[in-house]
Amino acid sequence: MSSKFFSIKSKDFGANHNPSRLVPKLLNVCCTHGNEQVGCFIYDNYSTGKNHNFEWRSIIANPKAMSLNKRYIEQDLNRVFPGKADGNYEERLAYQISQILPNHDLVLDWHQSITNMSDTIFVKKLTPNLKEVCQYFDIAHIVELDKGQGGYQGTLISQVENGIALEYGNLHNHQDACRRVQRSLSGLLNKRRFRKFQNVYRMLDQSISLEFSKILKFKDFQGLSRDAMEILGIDDLNIYPVFVGGYKEEGIYCKLVQKIGIV
Ligand SMILES: [Zn+2]
């Protein structure tokens, strides 16, 4: 039976360096989207290992899509969890991955964005347990997906209690993304904190349609100008754009988040 990560009191983590004791089991899920090849870097460099804080292992979630450098083969893997034993290729993968998730105490699902968005952490809900984990990532923004309506359904992290999806900006600067991933992973595995604080947001249902991209210029996590707020009829200063340019094919300029605090 796996160690129960968060039932171990946090003071026990640092105090006891006996390598034979139970440490939380971490699973890195790489290449959930096959073309987001920062996953290959993680798989190659952190395939299995153990230190006094964690025991870790990495898997390639979608091997066929990864080898073809495609997002998916038949269906977006990150929309079909928990999958089906006799479904299409991605449904079968989701089903197989779902079987191993319960053997781990913490699951990290690694992604890369085609846009220049800031590196971002996504969680279902920022529970005290996940807050403890997130603090070790050198990432300024944490977004909660739980809108109370299950908007994250079908995603890998919807299947676990302690799940985090990481989105690294700028798919095309692969080397730099790998360097940033390495920094955060070493922060987590060694429990080293890089940042004094992180911004926490909640994902909203609203999105901004693509036609507004002709008159408004947004950047991820940068406050809306007074003009933009007036044009869009938004009067809350805590609303920020996110995924700018990431959903063009769906006719969406950006999605919106609401800042709910700082941790
Ligand atoms: Zn992805």
pLDDT in tens, 174-224: 889 999 999 999 999 999 998 889 999 999 988 999 999 999 999 999 999
- pLDDT of res. 117: 85
Residue 113 alpha carbon to ligand 1 centre in Å: 7
* Helix (H) and strand (E) counts in the chain: 7, 10
- pLDDT of res. 37: 87
Ion ligand 1: residues, CB < 5 A: 33, 36, 111
What are the structural domains of the chain?
A: 19-196 (3.40.630.10), 205-262 (no CATH)
- pLDDT of res. 151: 62
Residue 7 alpha carbon to ligand 1 centre in Å: 31
Residue 153 alpha carbon to ligand 1 centre in Å: 15
For 57, list phi and psi in degrees, rounded to 5.
-150, 150
Residue 114 alpha carbon to ligand 1 centre in Å: 9
Residue 32 alpha carbon to ligand 1 centre in Å: 6
Query: pLDDT band for position 73 (50/70/90)?
Result: very high
Residue 34 alpha carbon to ligand 1 centre in Å: 8
Whether pLDDT at 7 is above 90:
no
State the residue for tokens 């044009």: 231
Within 8 A by CB and 6+ apart from 76, the residues are 33, 90
What mean pLDDT, rounded, does the chain reach? 89
Residue 129 alpha carbon to ligand 1 centre in Å: 24
Whether pLDDT at 94 is above 90:
yes
Enter the pTM of the model: 0.89
Q: Output the six-digit token pair for 25.
A: 């089991």
Within 8 A by CB and 6+ apart from 230, the residues are none
Residue 30 alpha carbon to ligand 1 centre in Å: 10
pLDDT in tens, 106-145: 999 999 987 888 899 999 999 999 999 999 999 999 999 9
Residue 112 alpha carbon to ligand 1 centre in Å: 6
Beta strands in 180-248 (DSSP E): 199-209, 239-242
Residue 35 alpha carbon to ligand 1 centre in Å: 8
State the residue for tokens 């034993």: 85
